[in-house]
Amino acid sequence: MIGYYIIAGLLFLVSMYVSNKLKSKFKKYSKVHLQNGMSGKEIAEKMLRDNNINDVKVISTPGMLSDHYNPQKKTVNLSEGVYSQRNAAAAAVAAHECGHAVQHAQAYSWLQMRSKLVPMVSVATKMSQWVIMGGLVLMATTALGSTVLLVGIVLFGLGTLFSFITLPVEYDASKRALVWLETENMLTSQEHEAAEDSLKWAARTYVVAAIGSLATLLYFVNIYLGRR
């Protein structure tokens, strides 16, 4: 288990670095005020209109960087630091979340795949750690432990798969956002560079999560293969 704690510790440090970097970038680009004077809400509503999406509402949600698109309720949920703010960071986030709405409207395959996995992954991630730990404990006393560990690995693997499927979904949403912002001349060149940098660091949080999940999965697979 020492190996597991080493991996977890390293991943935690990398994750904290990327998270803090994202927060500092968001803070920095929140000071880059938009010349067009539009708020995050107004930018989101315009992007939806320009893509002929009329059944999605833009609403405010509590918290910092808690922005997300809800495909079930068809709402673009913008955090307090995005909804009413008029800066490059807010524009980037608002357009990115609308990118998910556009994906939904156009039946983007990776988004559809991720949405189908959500119920299964939600259950699997809650159970996997407990099943894996149970398998490791049982392996010391009974052959059944290997089977229990394998079940836990499969459950954990679903979460890892979900993490990697999320990557093209997030990168595509950012690409759609940046293309629209440029095509519609929503931002100046300086504002666009700030928006692009913000979205790059946001995407890296998903990359770190996916790599971390894969590393942890491979660690448990190695234990399983080594004790069979």
97 is catalytic: yes
**Among residues 42, 45, 80, 97, which one is catalytic?**
97
Taking the C-alpha atoms of residue 3 and residue 175, their distance in angstroms, rounded to an integer, is 38
| Dihedral over Cα of 130, 132, 138, 142: its sign | positive
pLDDT computed for residue 139 by the predictor: 86
Give, for 75, the enclosing helix (H) or strand (E).
strand 75-79
Tens of pLDDT along 6-27? 877 888 898 899 989 999 999 9
Alpha-carbon separation of residue 29 from 33, 70, 99, 192 (angstroms): 8, 26, 20, 10
Which of these, 155, 104, 157, lies nearest to 127 by C-alpha position? 155
pTM above the 0.85 mark?
yes
pLDDT computed for residue 27 by the predictor: 92
Return the bridge partners of 76, or none.
58, 69
| Dihedral over Cα of 201, 206, 209, 210: its sign | negative
In which region does residue 142 sit, left (phi positive, over 0), alpha (psi from -120 to 50) or beta (all else)? beta
pLDDT beneath 70: ranges in the chain: 1, 3-4, 227-228
